[in-house]
Amino acid sequence: MACLSIVIPIFNEREALPHCLDRLSEVVAPLDLETELVFVDDGGTDDGGAYLIEAARTDTRIRLLRLSRNFGKEAALSAGLDYARGDAVIIMDADLQDPPEWIPVMLDYWRAGRDQVLMQRRTREGETWFKRVSARLFYWLIGRASDVPIPANVGDFRLMSRRAVNALLQLPERNRFMKGLLTWVGMPTEIISYDRPPRTAGETKWKPLSLLKLAWEGITSFSIAPLRLVTVIGICAAAIGLFFGFWIEIKALAIGGDPPGYPSLIAIITFLGGVQLISIGILGEYVGKTYIETKQRPLYLIRDIHGDARVDPAPRADDMREGRS
């Protein structure tokens, strides 16, 4: 029988977990698939992990990876994908904002030969005005900056075939901008629209600043457009300066005398100083990224694994690349 893995990152989701398990069980039970639920506890500080360890005693479908600390959702997802064994892998949130009822629909597309089934948010209920606007801005920016077209409003809720997961696991970078990496992988893809409900329980884990950070990371790790933009600004500034110089010369020759202009000089100097500092900052961002990549640290560390201890974890991407398995 084919196997379906559902990967669920959790970070202090204790309140949402019982609902999540109930709804998932209802959806998964009638499926003609062997199912594993791979929970990744991203260093949560509540007793969500303990709850799942207890649940795994009676429910053999549950597996729990606990990371050594909070590594962030993207790293938690990488861990889940490394250990998922399914022929199809679905990623979803624990808070039921990604309704499990869509899973059978996603599976239909998978059976029809799609390697990725993406869920696109048509509406975002219960999200703040700030989050909606920043999401729009983010997708607009990344759409312009990235070479591969990243579909707007597609979150992490998606299905991937084994082929797509293996392709993703081959990408070596430390900086996991999932939306970008998955688009980069390509393969036959289907996009389904859905209405995103509000959280069932608990609070969103994103603070405005961390979203901003994610957006900046996403853009700079996936595109060198900011570097190009700086070059273009430099060329424009140089061209304007040149023409301005000519114009002053000609005016001085025609009218004579020293042209006044102390304030405009100061304005130009501060403006150019600012542009230069921003440019160095952006350049530094990329140098820093290169530095982090060269360290080759693991993306996450596992504290322990629970449930279904009979089977060894799936081979890590690194092992596969080196031919160990």
Q: Helix, strand or coil for residue 35?
A: strand
- When CB distances are held under 5 to 8 angstroms depending on the partner's kind, the choice from ligand UDP, Mg ion, none that residue 73 binds is ligand UDP
Closer CB to ligand UDP, residue 193 or residue 231? 193
Report, in Å, the least distance between residue 283 CB and ligand UDP: 29
Strand 3-10 to strand 34-41: parallel, antiparallel, or no bridges (unpaired)?
parallel
Residue 97: CB minimum distance to ligand UDP, A:
5
> Minimum distance from CB of 238 to ligand UDP (Å)?
43
Among ligand UDP, Mg ion, none, residue 218 binds (CB under 5-8 Å by kind) = none
Nearer to Mg ion, 97 or 161 (CB): 97
Q: How far is CA 234 from CA 95, 227, 270, 276, 285, in A?
A: 47, 11, 14, 8, 18
Q: How many CB atoms lie within 10 A of CB 243?
A: 10
Residue 115's binding partner out of ligand UDP, Mg ion, none, with CB under 5 to 8 Å set by partner kind: none
Q: Which residues bind ligand UDP (CB under 6 A)?
A: 9-11, 13, 42, 70, 72-73, 76, 93-95, 97, 204-206
Q: Which is nearer to ligand UDP, 11 or 109 (CB)?
A: 11
Closer CB to ligand UDP, 13 or 115, in the complex:
13
76 binds, among ligand UDP, Mg ion, none (CB under 5 to 8 A by kind): ligand UDP
Query: Smallest distance, Å, CB 186 to ligand UDP?
Result: 25
Residues with Cβ within 8 Å of residue 61, at least 6 apart in sequence:
28, 35, 36, 37
CB of 18 to ligand UDP, least distance (A): 14
Residue ranges in 45-104 that form contacts with Mg ion under rule CB under 5 A: 93, 95, 97
Spatial distance between the Cα atoms of 149 and 120, rounded to a whole number of angstroms: 14
- Min. distance of Cβ 90 from Mg ion in angstroms? 16
**Minimum distance between the CB of residue 210 and ligand UDP, rounded to whole angstroms?**
8
Nearer to ligand UDP, 42 or 115 (CB): 42
Give the residue carrying structure tokens 């957006």.
Answer: 215
What's the min distance (Å) between Cβ of 101 and ligand UDP? 17
* Residues contacting Mg ion: total by CB under 5 A: 3
> CB under 5 to 8 A by kind: which of Mg ion, ligand UDP, none does 82 bind?
none
Partner whose binding site includes residue 11, from ligand UDP, Mg ion, none (CB under 5 to 8 Å by kind): ligand UDP
Convert 249-272 to b/e letters by CB count within 10 Å (16 or more is b): eeeeeeeeeeeeeeeeeeeeeeee
End-to-end CA distance of the chain: 23
Cβ distance 93 to 157 under 8 Å? yes
User: Using CA atoms, how far apart are residues 254 and 143, in angstroms rounded to an integer?
Assistant: 50
Name the pairing type of β-strands 34-41 and 302-306. Answer: unpaired
CA-CA distance, 100 to 159, in Å (whole number)? 12
218: which 2 tokens? 């996403």
Site residues (CB under 5 A) for Mg ion, limited to 95-114: 95, 97
Q: Please identify, using beta-carbon distances, which residue of 76 and 160 lies nearer to ligand UDP.
A: 76
What does the block give as tokens for 302? Answer: 């596992």
Q: Which is nearer to ligand UDP, 94 or 169 (CB)?
A: 94
Region at 142 (left for phi over 0; alpha for psi -120 to 50; beta for the rest): alpha
Cα separation, 157 vs 196, whole angstroms = 11
**Cβ nearer to ligand UDP, comparing 92 with 230:** 92
* Residues at the interface with Mg ion (CB under 5 A): 93, 95, 97
